[in-house]
Chains A and B, each alone.
Chain A
Amino acid sequence: MKIEDISKKTDQLIRIEQSDLMPLPYPYDNPEKNPPMKMLTQEQRDRYEASLDGVLAIGIPKPQSAAEEKTFIDKFLSGLAKLFTKENNWTFLQPLMHSLEYCVKCQLCNDSCPAYIASGKKEIYRPTFRPEVLRRIINKYLKKSPLSPPPSQGGPGGLWLKFTGSDIDLNWITVARLAELAYRCTLCRKCAQVCPLGVDNGLITHEIRKLFSQELGIAPKELHEQGTIQQLKVGSSTGLSPKALSNIISFMEDDIEEKTGKRIKIPVDKKGAEILLMHNAGEFISWPENPEAFAIIFDAAGIDWTLSSELVGYDAVNYGVWYDDIQLARIAIAHAETAKKLKVKKISVGECGHSHKAMIVVADRVLTGDLNIPRESALPLLEDLVCNERIKIDPNKNNFPVTLHDPCNMVRLMGIVEPQRKILRKICPQFIEMEPHGVENYCCGGGSGFAIMQSMNFPDWRSVISGRVKLKQILETFHDTISPEIKKYVCAPCSNCKGQIRELFNYYNVWEECGIFYGGLVELIVNAMVDIEKPFIDWEWH
């Protein structure tokens, strides 16, 4: 396959075949026994542009007329031009220019990409493929060089463009495929980490997503309409309203009492509290045991804390960080305003990787003046409570094999590596590291929004391709204890990673076949607390 093939009208650029995929270890070492990827229906194919790889993350409807095609291309080009203007894209202009201009195409980064290796090295998933397509479009259609206009526009461009390797045709299919392709990279930035020249192919993907969202209004609906738009409107990307939150909090208080025998009042909207704890609202709905565990720990340690019931303030997520700078800024400001109103001393982010990165790191240059409220991860505080014995722990209660998944956003992109490990070393006698780990970890496959994207057959792609390396790592880590009789635990201190691991394990039936469970970090802490009599982890698959 050549790069310029992205513009050619073919049924599908690549096909994902079981036999091409990276092999998995036992008990998934027979590719024929592994579940096949769902195919799109004919109706879906007729309706949407699916000629990239037969998978749909966005699902762009096919154009009905030549005029519609032209508008689409023109808008794409106008958006592309805006990416290079200071007023529209000061946010990432310097990193973007660097990454576009200084890649020497040595391909050193290729083998660090989980999607590329898992797919059996399909060309379109190569970290350098997307950037190269974009570079060619820019060189041919955007740059004002006297040599670059194509012959159709009166320049000698044809030959020159071929000579300089900028040969590509911009048509509807190129643009639609590029939009889909921007959602085959998890923005894990492992490729960027190995690049000797500081080029960041993940960043280029991020910028392509932005151009589609900010100029054409195109983004996966789970990130946009049901994500950031819904969060700003009803308070949470989950659709959770303040009223529903209040019901869940009551439920959590009852649940804590049932599990621990203690009645804990979960503080909400407590003015002047030391800490405003912000969770990914998905925790309240899918894994309430996680915010419950936080409440138990904070109560036991006598921490002065509160949750918020303010719109947006009870959902730490900020999907804008993956696809849209304006949405990122709006949500970051809403988060900070919640804290400002409550007059808390600081915001502490619970177990959600991208919320960490968005709220603490990226939004640091969005929040100015009195909105710049101190923000930190909850992990150093937990480390302090556990390692300095501010809560009593009996590690024998966690005497089962445990491994740690490093969420990219928290670790490679933020440098929070040791607090979670120090805790696990203290509370889990059978803690074992995955390889590679820490800042060199592999993404769970659900990064950059993938974990919540449910479009058509995209969830299958996520389990078969983007999560494949993580599954392999987990199976290899528990290689010696792989029998389902031995219960094992993957600690993933991130809601999105947990969502992805749940789907991945469901897809391959990992709980039944290998006895591998998953959950957060605080659940393990509470499970080991001396004054909690019953086990907190119930080993009930959900």
Chain B
Amino acid sequence: MDEGFLKEQQVMESDLNSETSHKSSVDFLMDWFRRRSIFVLAYGTGCGAIEMPPTFTSRYDAERLGIRGAATPRQADVIIVSGYCSYKTLRRIIRTYEQMANPKYILALGSCTVNGGMYWDSYNTIKRLEDYLPVDMYVNGCMPRPESILEGFMALQKEIGDGKISSWQKYEDNYAFYRKNQEAVLGQTVAPAYDADWYLYDGGL
């Protein structure tokens, strides 16, 4: 259903319910550092990618919030899925996501990632990203302006700081579900099982 909407609603209301999570002091400290340092793998999939350069350069300067670009998936914390995903792109996103080190987050831009947007009846794009990968934060708009992207990032930072996000865990726990959906659209061309083995068997090395 409208999960993107619900998620945002939750974020907006999060100040109201002030239940604190029970964390050890080490976790508390690590979350404090994590929310202050976010490396983004800006992987442009749809039209929304065009809003990312202004977000990260002088005009909007995301680095002042501790958000900066990462060169490779190994160094990244967040992957931005910036709009519609064709099946081909989805395969790359899945591989990239699986190469990132835990904890990792997904930020999805635009209505296309929520419900397919204006690509609703396209023959080669997916509709709900949530079915294939665990999305942490949606940013609405078609396409979202840099201000909204920054706001999305700040909401994400807040959730990270509160230690509320464990989507990578959710992905590992419900891997069968995600895998089934991935295979349904990608068939056998989906990446090998979530592990190091693509690196060893799939013509990697």
Q: Say if A and B assemble together.
A: no
The residues of A with any CB-CB pair to B shorter than 8 Å are: none
The residues of B with any CB-CB pair to A shorter than 8 Å are: none
